[in-house]
Every structure is written in structure tokens, then in C-alpha cells.
Structure 1
Amino acid sequence: MTVFDLSLITSGPYHDMLLAGLKLSLQLLGVTLLLALTLALVVAMMRLSGLRVLSAGAWLFVEAIRNVPLLAHMLFWYFGAPELLPEAAREWLYAHNYEAVAAVAALTFYTAAYMSEDVRSGLRAIPHGQFEASRALGFGFLRGMRLIILPQALRVTLPPLISQTLNLWKDTSIATVIGTAELMYQAAKVETETFRSVEAFVFATTCYLTVSLLITGLAVTYQHFFPARAV
């Protein structure tokens, strides 16, 4: 019977490899979340702008991204997109950790497509009188959105946005298919070098679970102190 070797994941070079993978996964989460939420807000406002060109473009973006698997997005950004660039630019990218850049690009567009629909639902839940009030105060579309509408809508959409954030955290593991040295990649590498699959993947599983629970806990805390109010 194989004994669980705790020292493998608590000290030594393999511990350092796993921690490096966890750090990169958290970086992917943080950078992608910031970019995806920003893009989602833009896309949602385009859908509701009333301009057909903007609305159609945003709709096409959402449908094109959501109906293609994330794995396909990853492979396109890593293998396909660089082929559209000059050879010198392509070689420079591959020499400068392009795996992480491609992962961020794929995760950003994929997550933003889903988040934009959540934000759009929250915007549509705001009574029309709020929009009229912003215009009565002399605010334009963008300023009214920023100061009056979006703060209310984001509180309404917090639960689905948290769900999308949890999905994003788990989706970072798919970046392993393009060689991004995130947590799952490093766990698989440790398992290959040591043949200690239980220890490596217990560490990875524990990290995914812990971060997921922290995200959920932060959301619950926020909702407790800043509950959404009827508008």
C-alpha cells in the first residue's frame, strides 16, 4: 500500500513547482477577470445602445464566442492567431511566454461573452424611470450609465457574476493544453516526474476548492454588508 507523502507537496522543488503553478493560475484569474468584466460592460451597453450597428455587432460577438467550446478558443489563440502575423512577430511572441498571453485572450473573450448577458439582464431589470431620471439631470447615455444605472445593475447581477468568476477560475485549468504552466500543468508535471499522482492532484484539487470557497465567501460577505435594494 502506497503511503501518502505529504512532504512532497509541502517542501522541496516539487512544492515550489506547484506553488508557481498556483501563482500563475491566480494571475490568469485576476487579469482575465478585470479585462472580461470591462469588455462585458462595453458589450452589454452596446446591446442596449439603440444603435443597430452596435447592437448587431455586440450580438454577433456574444453568439460567436458562446457557441464555440473554450478549448477551441485556446487552440485558436495559441496556434491560429499567430499565423496571421509576420514571422518575426510570431517568433517574438513564442519566445516571450505567449502561452499565458493566449490563455488570457481566450479566457477574456469567452468569459466576457457570458458576463455581458448577465450585465445586460441587470440593466434591463432597472426601471425605465431611472433612465429618464438620468436624462432629466442632463446626463448623456454614458455618464448616466456610469453614475446611476450601472451601480444599481451590478448589485442585481452580482450572484451570476460570481458564478461566472467561479467558472473562470476553474476554466484556467484548460490553459494546460497550450502549455501554460498553471496549476494543473505543474501538477501533471510533478506526477510525471515522481509517479506520485495522488499527492500532486490532491494539492491541485485543494487549491481549486479553497480559492472557489474564498470567492464565494467574499461574495456572501459583500451581499451581507451591501445588500441589493429594490429600485
Structure 2
Amino acid sequence: MNPGLQAPQPNPAKKKPDDFPWWLVAAGSIAVAVALLIVSSGLYRQIFAIVAKGVWITIVVTLVAFALATLLGLLIAVMGLSGSKALRQSARFYVEIIRGIPILVLLFYIAFVGAPGVVAGWNWLVTPLREAGLVGELQVRSVPLLWRAVAALTIGYSAFIAEVFRAGILAVEQGQVEAAKALGLKAWPRFRLIVLPQAIRTILPPLGNDFIAMIKDSSLVSVLGVADLTQMGKVYAAGSFRFFETYSVVAYVYLLLTVSLSLGLRRLERRLREGRPSG
């Protein structure tokens, strides 16, 4: 090596980039300003009171659909990594088909095609019982639109979550799996005790992103008339023609939900990286 050419040395006096969350200060200032506007204005108070009635529906739809999508996604991921070719191909078929359909189209399909089809199939299966007078005929209107929407979100997001789980499971070092085999652990204990706990650290960030995305996509259930946050705002705006004020409040509430959740997830990720308990 030419002694005249020396590798650049790090400058100890060089400061780290300023990572102070100025964006959060700006966002918090806007949130406080909007909150003061809602408190001080009779119009905005009225809009907020009406829109807030749909918050619980939004939360329920998101939590139930995401929990079911996570379970279904984990099942599809395990199928995709199994030793059975039929299971692997079935899982890949499910993921590729479902991911290729827009959530809104899937919502319409499940609500107006899937649900009537399931009802018709059920009535056909219980025909002998109906003829004997033991059960009545199930009507399509007996299936609430809320649960049709939950089913659509569950199916739609399970395909994306399956890929998240698959990537996280594959990221676990194969040597640890082999060591668990050598210790005599069967497949399920090996997956539950060795693979899944380590995969969670890789899975958590994209899984959190999917949860935040589902909060926003839950607004799509308003097209079915489900009285969620968006639907309540839509009804009020249509009757009062206060579109700017109404949708500003709707956007504000969604931002409160998503930004606060995003900050919570970042803190949890940081604690997991540092190896400390999240509590």
C-alpha cells in the first residue's frame, strides 16, 4: 500500500445527525390547534360528536379483522413452508390470487357474492332438517354487512400477512432449527419455542405497518353502509354540505389513531432490539 495514500480516519468531532423528532413537534402542534378549534367552535364540536360515534366500529372492525387475518396468515405461511407439495402449491395459489384483487373489489365480492353463496350452500346442506321442521331457512339479510366486511378484510390481509410470516420464519438461522432437532424437539414444539419467538423480531415492523394500513382500509366498509368513522362523516357531509369541515375532522381522527399507534410500535420495536421487556 502506498504510504502516501492513507485511509480516511473518522472525525471524532463530527456530530451525529440531528434525530430530534421535529416532525412530531409539528404534527403535535397541528393536533393541538385542531383540538382547540373543535373545543371552541360549535360547528366543529357537533361534527366531532357525530363522527366519533363511528370510532368504535372502526376499532372493532380493525381489531377483529386483523386478529383473524394474522391467524389465517400464519396458517397459510406454515402451509407454504411445509414438506407437502400440495400444501405449498395451495398456499402459493391463495397468496397470489388474493393479493391480485383490490381490497374494495374483494369487499364487494364477499358481501354480495360470497355471503349469498355461503347462505345458499348452508340451506342446501340442511335441506333434510328444514323439511323435518328442525331448522328454518337462513336468509341472506341475516348475515350483517359488518361481518361481511370483516370477512373481506380478513381474507384480503391474510395473504399479505402470510408473506410477512414466511419471510420472518425463513430469516431464522437454520443451524438453530437443526440444533432443536438434535435435542429431540418435534415439529410443533420446535416451531413454537425456537422459530416463532425469533421470527417475531423480524415480523413485528411489517406486521405493524399492515395493522396501520388496515385501520385506514377499514374506511372501505363505509361503501356497505356500515356506520364506521368514514360513513358517519359521509352522512353528515351529505346532509349539511359542510364537506371541508367534516372531512377535516374525519382525517384528524384517523391521524390520531394511526400516528399514535405508529409511535407505540416504534417504541416496542426499539425495546425488542435492546432485548428489554416491553412492559
Does the TM-score normalized on the shorter chain lie above 0.5? Answer: yes
Partner residue in 1 for 2:24: none
1:55 aligns with 2:88: yes
Match of 1:72 among 98, 105, 108: 105
Partner residue in 1 for 2:133: none
Q: Where does 1:167-186 land on structure 2 (aligned, <5 Å)?
A: 167-186=213-232
Residues 205, 269 of structure 2: 8 Å contact kept: no
For residues 80 and 119 of structure 1, the distance between their equivalents in structure 2, rounded to whole angstroms, comes to 30
SS at match of 2:197: helix
Aligned-pair identity in percent equals 28
The AA in structure 2 aligned to 1:128 is: Q
Larger-gyration structure (1/2): 2
**Cα offset, 1:170, TM superposition:** 0.8
The AA in structure 2 aligned to 1:146 is: R
1:211 aligns with 2:251: no
**Cα offset, 1:180, TM superposition:** 1.4
Matched residue count = 222
**Aligned pair in 2 of structure 1 residues 153, 228: CA closer, same or farther (>3 Å)?**
farther
1:89 aligns with 2:129: no
**Cα offset, 1:35, TM superposition:** 0.8
The AA in structure 2 aligned to 1:188 is: K
Residues 69, 158 of structure 2: 8 Å contact kept: yes
**Cα offset, 1:82, TM superposition:** 2.6
Q: Where does 1:26-65 land on structure 2 (aligned, <5 Å)?
A: 26-65=59-98
Instruction: Name structure 1 gaps, 5 residues minimum.
Output: none
1:139 aligns with 2:185: yes
Partner residue in 1 for 2:56: 23
The AA in structure 1 aligned to 2:263 is: G
For residues 48 and 84 of structure 2, the distance between their equivalents in structure 1, rounded to whole angstroms, comes to 54
For residues 268 and 160 of structure 2, the distance between their equivalents in structure 1, rounded to whole angstroms, comes to 22
Instruction: Name structure 2 gaps, 5 residues minimum.
Output: 1-36, 124-136
Match of 1:165 among 196, 211, 216: 211
Bigger RCO (CA 8 Å, 6+ sep)? 1
For residues 24 and 215 of structure 1, the distance between their equivalents in structure 2, rounded to whole angstroms, comes to 17
Residues 156, 228 of structure 1: 8 Å contact kept: no
For residues 35 and 122 of structure 1, the distance between their equivalents in structure 2, rounded to whole angstroms, comes to 19
For residues 213 and 170 of structure 2, the distance between their equivalents in structure 1, rounded to whole angstroms, comes to 24
1:153 aligns with 2:217: no
Extract structure 1 runs of 4+ deviating beyond 4 A: none
SS at match of 1:227: helix
- Please identify which structure carries the higher helix content: 1
TM-score (norm 1): 0.89
**Cα offset, 1:61, TM superposition:** 0.9
Cα-Cα RMSD: 2.0
**Cα offset, 1:17, TM superposition:** 3.2
1:116 aligns with 2:151: no
SS at match of 1:68: coil
